[in-house]
Every structure is written in C-alpha cells, then in structure tokens.
Structure 1
Amino acid sequence: MKPFTTLTAVAAPLIRDNIDTDAIIPSREMKSTGKTGLAEGLFAPWRYLSPGGRDPDPQFVLNQPAYAQAEILLGGRNFGCGSSREHAVWALAEYGIRAVIAPSFAPIFAGNCTRNGIVPVVLDDDAIAAIGEDGGLVTIDLAAQTVALQDGPHWSFEIGAEAKAMLFEGLDPIDLTLKSRADIAAFQTADKVARPWIYLGDLMP
C-alpha cells in the first residue's frame, strides 16, 4: 500500500449528505472480487447519462475538466453509509482518490479507507464549504493533521493513532500485525510451555 505523508491536489466538491456505498459503486458494477477493474463504475449512477451506459454526464463533478484529475473528494455528512462493501473504497482508490473530506463518515467505510490508503478527514461544514468555494489546490499533511488552502486558511483534523500509522507507513492490517511478530512469537513460545496439549505442531516459523 502506498504511504500517505502529504498531498497537494484539487478537491472535487460532491457535497451531498448520505452518499451511500451503492452510489459509490453499484452492485451491477461489481464484476470482480479483486481490487481492480472498479474505477470505471465509480459513481456510475451519477457519472453516466444512463444506467449501465458509459456516456459521461457533463454536469457531474468528476466529468468536469477542472476536477478530472482530482485526488481529494469533498463530501457531506455520513459519507459511505449503506452496505459495508469494501469495493466502494477500492473503486475510489483505483480512480485515484487519496483522501475524502467530510463532516462525518460511516464507521465501516472510514475503516475501509484507512486499510486501503485513503485518508478519511473529518472537518466541519464551514471548512468544507470554504474549500469547495476556493476551488484551488488543497494540501493535506497527515503528520501535522492539517488541511490547508494555498495562501489561505488551514484546519486541524483528528485521526486515530493506529489509522494514522497504517496510512503514514503504507501498512495494511496484516502488515500492521506483523510489526508485533516478535511479541507474538514470544507469547506463543511461553504458551506452548504452559499449555502444550493444545498445539498439534508449530504454527509459526
């Protein structure tokens, strides 16, 4: 997973409340169990003129030239609600979105973001409106936990220590667990002495 340190990019304003995972990636667009091949179906109900079609709707924000290369998405409250499908985050990541800024996130969606290299940034409505109205480049600094406009205001955001470490170091959940490999091995060695009857063989190299 690609580490996230700082990002300066255009932020596409899609400021609607309750954007659910079926809007982010409809079930009809989920044709693979893998993480690839999903970007084309991202926001398909809004991005294209007809269901199942591929004619771009020029009114949709990601189809507008100013936001064609956006790596930051501005959203409304309860972003990522609905089903827990991780495909929604996979589609965003494959499209090139590295961060979503919203007043609040569905908890499962926020967790899926941090496990797939996307920073879920919580800012209030006024900050998001100011970023959207500015329309310029936005800088997200994960170490400092700030969002800033060029020559303009900046805001601080909160993020959990574990989520921050995963994003900053580019770790998925397995990588994060393996950072404690020595402690795991030490526990297992002691446990084999204390409870040898539950071990059928070596479980770790």
Structure 2
Amino acid sequence: MFKFVEHIGVIVPLNIANIDTDIIIPKQFLKHIDKKGLGKFLFHDWRFIDNKQLLPNKKFILNQKIYKNASILLTGTNFGCGSSREHAVWSLLDYGFKVIIASSFSDIFYNNSLNNKLLLIRLDEEKVNDIFNIVHLNPGIKCKIDLINRQIILGDTVFLFFLENSHFLRFSNNLDSIDLTMQYLNDIKKYENNIPDFLVNRKIFESYS
C-alpha cells in the first residue's frame, strides 16, 4: 500500500520556467486513458529527436546516464501551466518521479498532483536556486524528503518546506479526497438529519445511512 513519509532519490535539475503540460506530455498522447505506460511519453519533444522515439536527444538531461533513475525533479517557476490535462501528472508518476520542487506551480496541476499523490514542494525562489547550485556542483546527488519534519536534506544542508496537515494525511495514510470526506460521515449524517423534511426527500438520505 502506498504510504509516503520519507523518500530518498536522485534529484535532477531542469532549470526552465513555465514548462507547460503540452511539453510534459504532448497532445497526441492524450488518447491513452490508462495511467500506466505514459512515462515513455514524458517530455517527448525534448527527450527525442524523432517522433518514433528511436533517436534520443543526448543533450536533454533525462537522457544522461547519471539521471536515468532520478525520482525528484527540481525545476523552474510556474511548472505545469497550460491545459488542465491530468495525463501530465500520470506521465510524471509513471516515469518514476515522486517529488517535484519549484517556486510555484499551476493551481490545476497542483491539485491534480495532490489527487494522484505526486508530492509538489513549493520553496522560495532563493532556496530553489540554492538547491540548483548544490545539484550542479554534485551531479547525481541523492536528496532526502522528510514529510514528518518537512525537510529537504541535501548532504549537510537542510531546507524546510511547508506542507498542510491535510496533505500530509493524504500521503502518510494513503487517503484520497473521498477518504478524507468519509472521516466526517457522522457529522454529515447529523447535518442531513436536521434538514427539514419539506426541503428534501428524506428517503434519499435514509438510503445512505
């Protein structure tokens, strides 16, 4: 069962701002409705020179051997902007990314990621630049993400980040939005039972009790 309180992985630096969802996964791959298998299309137009994925772009950082199994993405501001396609999150997860660190994210992309348990960490741009500097000086460095203490640990350097308690509960207990709502089921039933009969069809509520 998926439970996330700590993750250690290689951090890959992609210092580009405003990476939109069409770059993350181009529109021609949106016909796939299964979350599995979308990782091979991640950053397709940057990872490959041809459309058949036969010629990798050796200059693109994810094609460098040292970052082959990277699971933490460090990137520029406004990551995930553009269209609301959830496939962008699915492709990142299927590729193997567990965490994305940036100074800001598109709101829709952020919520899609949260619902799919892809952890997004917002940091001040100054701190993001500090991490870029560390990673550039130490290619292939592993990073520890500690959700309990809200820490990013890179060697001897620690960066603190904010994570709402409700978000922490999602990751640490493998909960989705429905699970979180069902925690208040008794309160919901109490509220429903207090609604005057002339406003509702009581039989509807009774069927759920």
Answer whether contact 1:3 1:117 (CA < 8 A) is retained: no
Selected match of 1:171 from 171, 175, 189: 175
Cα deviation, residue 203, structure 1 = 4.2
Q: Are the aligned partners of 1:127 and 1:155 in contact in 2 as well (CA < 8 Å)?
A: no
Cα distance change on mapping 1:197 and 1:18 into 2, 3 Å: closer
**Partner SS state of residue 208, structure 2:** coil
| Uncovered stretches (5+) of structure 2, i.e. residues with no partner | none
Shift in Å, 1:73: 0.5
Q: Distance in 1 between matches of 2:29 and 2:55?
A: 15
Match of 1:9 in 2: 9
Residue 68 to residue 188, structure 1, CA distance change in 2 (3 Å): same
In 2: Cα distance, 1:93 partner to 1:131 partner? 25
Which residue of 2 is the match for residue 190 of structure 1?
194
Shift of residue 197 of structure 1?
A: 5.1
* In 1: Cα distance, 2:48 partner to 2:86 partner: 22
Q: Read off the aligned partner of 2:132 and give its amino acid letter.
A: A
Corresponding residue pairs, total: 202
Equivalent residue in structure 2 for 1:127, among 108, 127, 130: 130
Quote the residue 1:141 is aligned against: 146
Letter in 1 for 2:40: E
- Amino acid across the alignment from 1:137: K
What amino acid sits opposite 2:200 in the alignment?
I
TM-score of the superposed pair, with normalisation by structure 2: 0.89
Match of 1:181 in 2: 185
Map 1:17-56; keep pairs closer than 5 Å: 17-56=17-56
- List per-residue Cα deviations over 1:152-194 (Å, max 9, x = no partner): 2110111223222212222121122122222222222333xx2
Q: CA deviation at 1:14?
A: 1.1
Aligned CA-pair RMSD: 1.8
AA at the equivalent of 1:178: M
Structure 1 gap segments, 5+ residues each: none
Deviations 1:122-145 (A, max 9, x none): 223323313422331100111111
Output the amino acid matched with 1:147. I
Seen in structure 2, the aligned counterparts of structure 1 residues 180 and 74 have a Cα distance that, compared at 3 Å, is same
> In structure 2, the residue corresponding to 1:8 is in which secondary structure?
strand
Hey, what's the Cα distance between the residues in 2 that align with 1:102 and 1:12? 12
